[in-house]
Amino acid sequence: MSDKRAFIRFHEKLMKLSHDPEFTNSTRPEKLAALCHLCATQLQVDRVSVWRFNYGRDHLLCEHLFDRQYPNGAPKAPPWKRDEYPAYFARLTHARVIDIQDVYHTPLFQPLRTDYFRSLGIHSMLDAPVFYGSRPSGVVCLESRSTWRWQLAEFSFAMAIADIVSLLNTHEAWTDSKRKLDHVRYYDRLTGLPNLESLRNRIGYLTQKIKRRGSGQFALFWINLDRMKIINEGIGASVGDLVINEVAHRLADTPLLGKDLFAHLGGDEFVLILRTYTRPDALLAAARILQKTIKQPIHINDQPINLSAGIGVCRFPEDGTEPPTLLRQAEAAMYSAKNRGVAQLSLFDDSIQATAQSRFALERELHTAIKNHQLEVFYQPIFERSGTRMASAEALVRWHHPHRGWLTPATFLDIARGAGLMYDLGECVIRRVCEHLRDAKIADTRLPVISVNLSAEQVQSPGLPALVAALCAEYGVAHRQLHFEVTEDSIQDASETVRNTLDQLVRAGSELAIDDFGTGYSSLSRLKALPFTKLKIDQSFISDIPYDEDDCAITQSIFGLARGLAMSVIAEGVETREHESWLQVRGCEFLQGFRYSEPVPLDTLITEFL
């Protein structure tokens, strides 16, 4: 047969195979077996095999071997090693076709030619490289037990087979990449559960299906774990991740009638879709099972951790018919449950909707107020021990809402925190304080040192010292005029970032106080490691002295701790003469509370206390 006719016949056979649906729908091993069999029968060679490099590219491993002596399956071929056939590997690495008529008289296989070829009776071979992208990834190997002079048509056919294997590699790599990308897109990295994107898709599918069918219902359970912030800050974020992962798998394995999709939205929040069983009694029963599962103690490093959760529930179609609405209603119901305390359940209703709408509107308005620097600052004087002379003042943010009047932080700080606005709100406060210090200086009025509260979001930002320096420079304010207060909860991890941030503020001239001391989880080592000079006793310990023995003992011990650490003490919540006298006798350096003044605007501070 002429080369031309052979070329045409070989490629017709290959085209027919590659377009056969049975071939295209088969697995990779099945495809390789079909290609090797076709090549061997068409070219009448004894052995055809497909090989691939291992990960280190120092071995060739046989993926499939067809041997005419073993029509029912050839023995497994041993790997080829680079250190045994270095010349062969070098040529293959450079993507060259290897054409050998006599394997016993070629330097490629010296000195180990007898180990492989003589045992199999091989005399001639033709190898065509297989690629992954532009890089050789293996070889298609044709072997003959007689001396064979390879023809052009056989070269072409072997290379065509190798090209198809290369295409298989590329397609499989693309499929694998797409599968990994889909997993990243639709599944949570920490827990492996479906994520928010998967949840939205599933809710969309269910709503459309039920609308088309004209009947059906489902419910969404929005689950928010209680106390995760305390666990993350008190024990560490890595332990928090272990807790989240354990809860995720427990809930995913919890049997519930009608359970559909269980998703992790991130952080401490999960959502469950429950189908069919949506009567109130069934929802309450499901919620009790979920709570019981969550309450089972989790043991990490031999330490038991107890959890609970707030759960909000909404139903389709009663509470909404579109996915975004249903998610909003479920989240609003969850917030309603959280507002009632720990381990609470709330079913969505109209009153929750009104509250959610109000919260959303307030969040939007707060964002605008922060962006436009519309927040104000009031000041509460801090007096020396005598209670007659103001030593400093604490800056307290206020918001003059256009319709609700003056709002205190208790009204909007949780909203700011939930909306990720705390850092921007803190910047707005520091800017306003700097403005007041500048204006007082222009008016030849000397304001006392001003203490500004820093949120956890600010303390954990490495850019805070630069921001403070820039604002001081913009308004001509000395760093020493600004002191800062930090709550215990904000410094739980005492990370390198937190330490650097606080150290830079102190080096610039500011002093630091620990706020609300006694309500958090400070340790002596943390207090010693961070540059605090003042300690503020939380007002909850002051309110019942001198009549509550426990509060007196706790407060007395805090004085001793502060003196041991060379820190001065500020008592918050001083409201009565009895409070003042008890604290003065015990040497409390600074007093703050309604006995002296409520927070007041700057003008009042100047006229009444300077």
Helices marked H in 214-349 — which ranges? 228-234, 237-253, 280-295, 323-339
If phi over 0 gives left and psi between -120 and 50 gives alpha, with beta otherwise, what is residue 387?
left
Pure H helices in 136-279: 152-186, 196-213, 228-234, 237-253
DSSP state of 521: -
Give the pLDDT confidence of 254-311 residue by residue, as tens digits. 999 999 999 999 888 999 999 988 888 899 999 999 999 999 888 877 777 888 899 9
Identify the residue with better confidence: 495 or 427: 427
- Per-residue tokens: 98: 């290897």
Alpha-carbon distance of 243 to 306, in angstroms, equals 10
What 3-state class would DSSP assign to 73?
A: coil
Give residue for tokens 């850092």.
423
Question: Whole-angstrom Cα distance, residue 362 to residue 209?
Answer: 36
C-alpha 516/C-alpha 352 separation (Å) is 32
Domains of the chain in start order, with CATH, are 3-183 (3.30.450.40), 196-348 (3.30.70.270), 362-609 (3.20.20.450)
What's the rounded Cα separation, in Å, for the pair 294 and 307? 6
Q: Which residues of 202-235 are buried (b: 16+ CB within 10 A; e: fewer)?
A: bbeebbeebeeeeebbbbbbbbbbbbbeebbbbb
Task: Read off the pLDDT of each residue in 73-86 and give the average, rounded to a whole number.
Answer: 85
CA gap 81, 92 in Å, rounded: 13
pLDDT at 354 over 60: no
The predicted-structure confidence for 179-216, as pLDDT tens digits, reads as follows 655 666 788 888 889 988 899 999 999 999 999 888 89
Whole-prediction pTM: 0.52
Tell me how long the chain is. Answer: 610
Mean per-residue pLDDT of the chain? 86
Predicted confidence band at 450 (pLDDT cuts at 50, 70, 90)?
A: very high
Within 10 angstroms of residue 550's Cβ, the number of other Cβ atoms is 10
Quickly list DSSP for 16-67: HHHT-HHHHTS-HHHHHHHHHHHHHHHHT-SEEEEEEE-TTSSEEEEEEEEE
Find the helix or strand (DSSP H, E) in which 314 lies.
strand 309-316
Q: Estimate the crossing angle of helix 3-18 against helix 28-43, to 10 degrees.
A: 160
DSSP 8-state class, residue 570: E
Please give the structure tokens belonging to residue 122. Answer: 């091989």
